[in-house]
Amino acid sequence: MRTPSADRHRRAGVGLRAPHYAGIVATRPRVGFLEVHAENYMAGGPQTRQLERLRADWPISLHGVGLSLGSARGLCPGHLDRLADLVDRTEPALVSEHLSWSVAGGAHLNDLLPLPYTEESLNLFAANVGRLQDRLRRRVLVENPSAYLRFVHSTIDEVEFLSDLVRRTGCGLLFDVNNAYVTCANLGGDPMRWIAGLPAPAVAEIHLAGHSANEADGAVILIDDHGGPVHPDVWTVYEHAVRRFEDADVLIEWDCNLPALEVLVAEAAEADRRRDRALAERVDARAA
């Protein structure tokens, strides 16, 4: 029997990390697509060649982690050129970046740092997304980050910020379920607000990943470490997300404590199974 999902959707993809490359080529797992961090493939040497080989067999998603779209000082033209070259070479199905910044005073902090959500930030971020999309001549997805702090002078909430960004730039969104869950646990809030509030037609991809719990200053803080399986609560939020963002591609990210490839692929299959079930339940509910 064909499920509603199998008719309409690409299977869930996995984030490709270097230690899994040989296993992916050898076992050709049935995943819908492969997503890579763009910055790891910008040298034009063996790594880039590997990616060009993979793109013959899987759709590729380029996930940028270093463009720093939220930097007050603007985008680095050299880095934008390198990303544009990589997009030309790999013709990815999806290109995404983050609602964050990394560069200040010439230093790259190699992290997805939080923005104050203000009119100034929104104007700047929208201008940078516009510049990026013009340069790549395609729509780019912007991902909600995981946050550990809030700024006192933020005046816009994240859902509103992202929705305005879509209106102004025509960009797409990458809804990271785990990030919304982690942010809400750390700052207060309900991830269901992201699902209800984000403009559904813009959400073209969903991310899932594991997180860990740490203690700081006597309080529990969730760390978005991509170091384990998806948390049961995050799966529950995901099942709501796929009902509203039903055309989005789904991806499992796993970056540290990297598991065997089979475990990663099984997690992607679990994402497919849960989406099929969530959509089937919705069809049943409509029929009833």
- CA dist., res. 83 & res. 87, Å (int): 6
151 binds other proteins (CB under 8 A): yes
Q: Which residues pair with 91 in a beta bridge?
A: none
Size of the site for other proteins (CB under 8 A): 50
121 binds other proteins (CB under 8 A): yes
- CA dist., res. 144 & res. 109, Å (int): 18
- Least distance in Å: CB of 177 to other proteins? 21
DSSP conformational letter for 57: T
In the set 61, 71, 128, 178, which binds other proteins (CB under 8 A)? 71
Place of tokens 């009902």: 243
Nearer to other proteins, 76 or 258 (CB): 76
Q: What are the phi and psi torsion angles at 77 (to 5°)?
A: -60, -35
In the set 3, 40, 212, 236, which binds other proteins (CB under 8 A)? 40
102 binds other proteins (CB under 8 A): yes
Place of tokens 């719990």: 213
- Least distance in Å: CB of 130 to other proteins? 17
Binding mask 160-199 for other proteins (x = CB under 8 A): ---------------------------x------------
Distance of CA 127 to the CA centre of its chain: 21
39 binds other proteins (CB under 8 A): yes
110 binds other proteins (CB under 8 A): yes
- CA dist., res. 129 & res. 133, Å (int): 6
- Least distance in Å: CB of 119 to other proteins? 10
Residue 256, sorted as left (phi over 0), alpha (psi -120 to 50) or beta, turns out to be beta
Nearer to other proteins, 78 or 232 (CB): 78
Is the separation of the CB atoms in 86 and 52 below 8 Å? no
In the set 124, 182, 206, 265, which binds other proteins (CB under 8 A)? 124
Candidates 108-116, 230-238, 243-251, 274-282: pick the segment binding other proteins (CB under 8 A).
108-116
Beta carbons within 10 angstroms of residue 283's beta carbon? 10
Buried b / exposed e along 232-271 (16+ C-beta atoms within 10 A): eebeebbbbbbebbbebbbbbbbeeeebebeebbebbbbb
- Least distance in Å: CB of 29 to other proteins? 24
In the set 73, 138, 167, 273, which binds other proteins (CB under 8 A)? 73
Residues near other proteins, by CB under 8 A:
39-40, 42-49, 65-68, 71-73, 76, 78-79, 101-102, 104-111, 113, 115-116, 118, 120-121, 124, 148-153, 187, 216-219, 221, 223
